[in-house]
Amino acid sequence: AFEIRLQHSGRTLQVPADMTIAQVLSAHGVDVELSCEQGVCGTCLTSLLDGEADHRDFFQTEEERAEHKQIAICCSRARSPLLTLDL
Ligand code: FES
């Protein structure tokens, strides 16, 4: 499990191993835009302000992944204990 921090509301939410970031956000009433939910389309890309993503999408390039500026919240997870999202 890891945590996500929502920069704008200051909320911190726990992401358990059996849920995606997008599922946790929806469960807490945060609107998320999803399409493929498989890391292919890029619809769910969200700006990552801090933390290191464990990228599971196939949309971003290697360079983009290495920058950790965006995360596909339908499938990607975290390598750091906390991800700060621009939400
Ligand atoms: Fe398509 Fe996340 S919804 S990449």
Q: What pLDDT is stored for residue 11 in this prediction?
A: 98
**Distances 10 to 4, 33, 67, 85 between C-alpha atoms, Å:** 10, 20, 23, 10
Name residue, tokens 């993503």.
53
ipTM over 0.95: yes
Take atom 4 of ligand 1 and give the residue whose Cα is closest.
39
pLDDT (tens digit per residue) in 15-45: 999 999 999 999 999 999 999 999 999 999 9
Out of 23, 31, 41, give the residue to mutate to test ligand 1, the one with the largest number of ligand atoms within 8 Å of its CB.
41
Q: What pLDDT is stored for residue 19 in this prediction?
A: 98
